[in-house]
Structure 1
Amino acid sequence: MKNCLAACCLLLSPLLFAQKFTDTGTIFISGKVTNAPKNYAEYSQTGFVDDRTSSFILGGDGTFKQAITIEGQTQDITFYLEDTGFTFTATAGDSIQLSWDATHFEQSFKARSRRPDADTILQGQWFLHQQIDHYFGGLQNALAQNKSLPAEEKFALINTAFNKEVEALSAAFPHHEATRQKLYTDLYYRYTHLLFSKRLLGQFALHYTASGNNPVDPGFAWQPQFKILNESTFWTHPLYRAFLFDYCRFAPQQLFTGVASLSPHRNNFPASAHYMGKSLLDIKSIRDWFLTQHLLLSFDSYNFLQAEAIYKEFRQELSDPFLKNKLEAGYTSSLTLKPGKPAPALALTNAKGQPVSLKDFAGKIVYLDFWATWYGPCIADIQANSRQLHQRYQGKDIAFISVCVGSEAGQWKEAIKKYDMSGSVNLYAPGGLDDPSVKAYQLNGVPRYILIDKNGKIINNNAPFMLELVMSTTNEIDEALAR
């Protein structure tokens, strides 16, 4: 039976209002920046399938005025202001005024909306922005430094921080219904998502514990239920959509870890998550959104041929024009990295400033590693496994090429020495994710590994981590060398 609670289900809530993915709206942003270090301001806006980053020019006196088209009637906008980013919710028709002094941003920043309800939410979001490092950031640091804590103690840390944020929000904005609904729901899903990422959700659930010193408006103690699928929340809360996406993809793995599965999709994540989403999500708009999102991610992050097979099946079922266009565009773009296609050109420089091209390694297998000096998983894989991997294939027709992305050149050169990366051909992408050589590989994040054959054609656009290669008796590199 579909959607039984024992199977970690999502239940259907009443439909409060209808929206479509093709709905759009316009918001108007204006204001002034004093002592601006540059003549433009950057921002990003959430979308149903992807986020978009843009910018606008500041006038000579620091003033600006910009109309921004949003997907749907409500979306989040993030302004990148000096050394931080401030995210606020905008509804179609909103007129928002921003101002700040770049030399002391936190003390001078002001945000106002002409609509009273929207203005109160805006002030609440700025209030939470100022608190986030203290509560949520401090919590993440504590969890990172105490990884061996028992599950009960980890949950206690998370639930305590959640309660403190709720109390602070309640004290700052008492008895305001719109603020309560929007900001409390965002808090709930931000902390619930963290519970899930720590593999605690299901075993524990957030709950509000009243404090005698700071009693909270009872409305703030209202508890959303993550297992109840809520369409109105889906359309208006990007944080809910982010939680929902991860929950539907990975919750079964958390529930059934260690259990041998007879499913034909056990080693096919694009298919297993696809059919899990179909079984869990009873609202068609949300189900189609999830399946589209999952496939777009699968093209870039999992076995392409497995994802392609699901795509060919699902595109016949998908009727929403917005989602269908996004899915077909994503598939067409990803075809450049399909196994068997020629690998895109790679033209970068090494630590000596010498140009290096992918053509220099014709006749060799190439294991291409995109990484960053600041990202832990990249460093962990390099430190623990790169030397062992290089030794295993010493003298074989294979080149290990490491491309540093999104890091300062000085930090990159230091890291090469620090982590003893002498077994790799070390290259630097000065343009980060926007560097032409990186964009050609459609990089959305690091680490990312690409395996290329002796003829310069892609074997796997999502090759195994170094750890997986080291741990396996026979792997994709061995198979490629044997051909």
Structure 2
Amino acid sequence: MRLYLIRFFLSFILTATLINQGKSAAQADEPKGFVIKGNVKNADGDFWEFLITDFIKAKHLVGVPIDKNGNFIKEIAISAPQDLYLSLNHQGIPVFAVPGDTLIINWDAAKFNETFRITAVSSVPSRQDEIDLVLKLYQSYWPKTLDMFKIVQNREIAGNEKMQQVQALFNKYCSVINQNPKSKYVAKVLADQYYFFLLRFVEKINAQERNKNANQFKQYRLNLDSLNDAALKYGCREDLLNENVFAFSPNYRSYIENQVRSNNPFSEVSLANQGPANKEYNFTLGNGYAGLSGLYLSNIIMDWYLTNSIITGYSDYGYENSEKAYQKFKDDILSRSYRDTLERFHDKIQRLRSGTQAPVFTLKNTDGKNVSLSDFKGKVVYIGFWGIYCNPCINEINQYAEKIHQKYNDVVFINICVDADEQSWQKKLKSLKLNGINLLAKGWTKNPVCQAYNVSSISHHVLIDKNGKLIDNVAPDLGSLMDDNNVLDQLLKM
């Protein structure tokens, strides 16, 4: 592939002026971290939480304890810029941290909007300007962005009209960015918005148009005409595999995953002299092959993709399928940091293979009493990890839970809520009328039970036999148990 001089020149400007990511691939070996601290008045609890992005497993939840005086401080290890979503005042307020930052956050819970402040203390110039820019974009346009989700999903609106509205909203984001002084991470702010719009809106509109007419449809694109800075524009291209943007934009990393995985896999094979044969598609293995073929131009991005796909595969697609992918691709990962990350994870995940003893746990039920997994030895146990803010979880419960519980009255159904406080959990249970053993595991990914069962997304189901051994740590959902001769039927016959 030829490299045009203008591309090289713009790339040089972007790299030299905005961010030096020459060793971005190695930064995972050199975590510096950041500090988040401050004070809250009239706190309604003894901790608050935020989501933080990562190179592996996308996001995880961090709890921040609040002392009796309302003070808090937390140090988090990061090796590159990461996005934070502050769970405050029933919002997910976005900000981003870079290694070496100290973010000072103060608010009064009784009058949040009037008192909420973030101050950045950093050796990196203009960090306060960047924080203020992200907050301004959120406060000005996030409600309109939420409305855009509904517009894009509305099948009565024509594709070109949807795209016009998407482009107009994106132009407003660009207008605010144009007004902001140049700084080291303004390229990140733009890239985050650009690839968010591509992934959440433009790709969905194109998919809708493709479904209408696969042979002839218009491929919509998001243009950057309203952006003033040419170097910033270069960092935002659909067809560019960019290690600099990869290092600082989680939304770009999500976009890469989507692009690689959007190739339609073959789900049926015709073997020589045997004719057609159906084979269950191994998504983790397929994702790995897609990464090798689509990302070979960048070793560091390919290493990240393989590592992330295998690790998340154990949670999403089960042990057996992901173990095949691990054995197939582990030697293709060249980066020491990613290879070591995968090896450490693999050592821990061995406890979740089929036939091993299920991790024991003890949690509180709705009466505040301790309930342990060992209480149900001699019974088949089906665990469902769910959340009150998880719409797919609620839909699954409403549609299937009562029917499945009646169908399998000899099975112990344990329902573990991971995303709520006790009061919200109890209130939701009353409206759901969810039978079975209801338990609460506050803190989700930081809760020992969720860590033990590798629950990084919900809903998540686990099947355990009468001897307390794991049958499947990524068991079929409730809807699948409506089928005849399903895995639960087979287990009860044993």
Global fold match (TM > 0.5): yes
Q: Which amino acid aligns with 1:190?
A: F
Is 1:248 paired with 2:260?
A: yes
Q: CA 1:90–1:450 in structure 2 vs 1: closer, same or farther (change >3 Å)?
A: closer
Q: CA 1:262–1:430 in structure 2 vs 1: closer, same or farther (change >3 Å)?
A: same
Please say which of residues 333-342 and 116-125 is displaced more in the overlay.
116-125
- Tell me which of 386, 389, 407 is aligned to 2:420: 407
Q: CA 1:197–1:439 in structure 2 vs 1: closer, same or farther (change >3 Å)?
A: farther
Partner of 1:190: 196
Q: CA 1:98–1:353 in structure 2 vs 1: closer, same or farther (change >3 Å)?
A: closer
Residue 128 of structure 1 aligns to a residue whose secondary structure is helix
Residue 45 of structure 1 deviates from its aligned partner by 5.1
Q: Is contact 1:76–1:88 with CA below 8 Å preserved after alignment?
A: yes
Partner of 1:70: 78
Residue 171 of structure 2 aligns to a residue whose secondary structure is helix
Is 1:458 paired with 2:470?
A: yes
Residue 443 of structure 1 deviates from its aligned partner by 2.0
Q: Which amino acid aligns with 2:485?
A: T
Q: Which amino acid aligns with 2:285?
A: A
- Tell me which of 395, 418, 441 is aligned to 1:429: 441
Q: Is contact 1:48–1:71 with CA below 8 Å preserved after alignment?
A: no
> 5+ residue gaps in structure 2?
2-9, 16-21, 211-217, 271-277
Can you list the C-alpha shifts for 1:16-42, whole angstroms capped at 9, x where unaligned? 644333453646658854747489886
Alignment of 1:438-449 (within 5 A): 438-449=450-461
Q: How many residues align?
A: 453
Partner of 1:131: 140
- Tell me which of 231, 239, 242 is aligned to 1:230: 242
- Tell me which of 480, 487, 490 is aligned to 1:479: 490
Partner of 1:328: 343
Residue 189 of structure 1 deviates from its aligned partner by 0.9
Residue 342 of structure 1 aligns to a residue whose secondary structure is coil
Is 1:200 paired with 2:206?
A: yes
- In the alignment, the residues of structure 2 paired with residue 350 and residue 454 of structure 1 have an alpha-carbon distance, to the nearest angstrom, of 22
Q: CA 1:313–1:70 in structure 2 vs 1: closer, same or farther (change >3 Å)?
A: same
Q: Which amino acid aligns with 1:463?
A: A
- In the alignment, the residues of structure 2 paired with residue 30 and residue 478 of structure 1 have an alpha-carbon distance, to the nearest angstrom, of 50
- In the alignment, the residues of structure 1 paired with residue 305 and residue 98 of structure 2 have an alpha-carbon distance, to the nearest angstrom, of 23
- In the alignment, the residues of structure 2 paired with residue 406 and residue 67 of structure 1 have an alpha-carbon distance, to the nearest angstrom, of 23
Is 1:158 paired with 2:166?
A: yes
Residue 287 of structure 1 deviates from its aligned partner by 0.5
Q: Which amino acid aligns with 1:133?
A: W
Please say which of residues 189-198 and 305-314 is displaced more in the overlay.
189-198
CA RMSD of aligned residues (A): 3.8
Q: CA 1:197–1:102 in structure 2 vs 1: closer, same or farther (change >3 Å)?
A: farther
Residue 245 of structure 1 deviates from its aligned partner by 2.4
Q: CA 1:165–1:450 in structure 2 vs 1: closer, same or farther (change >3 Å)?
A: same
Q: Which amino acid aligns with 1:419?
A: L
- In the alignment, the residues of structure 2 paired with residue 56 and residue 168 of structure 1 have an alpha-carbon distance, to the nearest angstrom, of 35
Q: Is contact 2:310–2:322 with CA below 8 Å preserved after alignment?
A: yes
Can you list the C-alpha shifts for 1:187-208, whole angstroms capped at 9, x where unaligned? 1011112137746368644434
Residue 482 of structure 1 deviates from its aligned partner by 2.4
- In the alignment, the residues of structure 2 paired with residue 351 and residue 67 of structure 1 have an alpha-carbon distance, to the nearest angstrom, of 34
Q: Which amino acid aligns with 1:193?
A: L
Partner of 2:289: 275
TM-score by length of 1: 0.79
- In the alignment, the residues of structure 2 paired with residue 362 and residue 63 of structure 1 have an alpha-carbon distance, to the nearest angstrom, of 42
Is 1:390 paired with 2:405?
A: yes
Residue 276 of structure 1 deviates from its aligned partner by 0.9
Residue 466 of structure 1 deviates from its aligned partner by 1.2
Q: CA 1:432–1:19 in structure 2 vs 1: closer, same or farther (change >3 Å)?
A: closer
Residue 167 of structure 1 deviates from its aligned partner by 2.5
Please say which of residues 75-84 and 237-246 is displaced more in the overlay.
75-84
Can you list the C-alpha shifts for 1:139-178, whole angstroms capped at 9, x where unaligned? 335557x4765555544443332222223333x327x375
Is 1:290 paired with 2:305?
A: yes
Residue 207 of structure 1 aligns to a residue whose secondary structure is coil
- In the alignment, the residues of structure 2 paired with residue 183 and residue 28 of structure 1 have an alpha-carbon distance, to the nearest angstrom, of 19
- In the alignment, the residues of structure 2 paired with residue 59 and residue 373 of structure 1 have an alpha-carbon distance, to the nearest angstrom, of 29
Q: Is contact 2:379–2:466 with CA below 8 Å preserved after alignment?
A: yes
Residue 71 of structure 1 deviates from its aligned partner by 1.0
- In the alignment, the residues of structure 1 paired with residue 52 and residue 193 of structure 2 have an alpha-carbon distance, to the nearest angstrom, of 19
- In the alignment, the residues of structure 2 paired with residue 357 and residue 480 of structure 1 have an alpha-carbon distance, to the nearest angstrom, of 22
- In the alignment, the residues of structure 1 paired with residue 71 and residue 428 of structure 2 have an alpha-carbon distance, to the nearest angstrom, of 39
Residue 78 of structure 2 aligns to a residue whose secondary structure is strand
Residue 341 of structure 1 deviates from its aligned partner by 0.7
Q: Is contact 1:350–1:426 with CA below 8 Å preserved after alignment?
A: yes
Q: Is contact 2:267–2:281 with CA below 8 Å preserved after alignment?
A: no
TM-score by length of 2: 0.77
Residue 200 of structure 1 aligns to a residue whose secondary structure is helix
Is 1:168 paired with 2:179?
A: no
Q: CA 1:150–1:450 in structure 2 vs 1: closer, same or farther (change >3 Å)?
A: farther
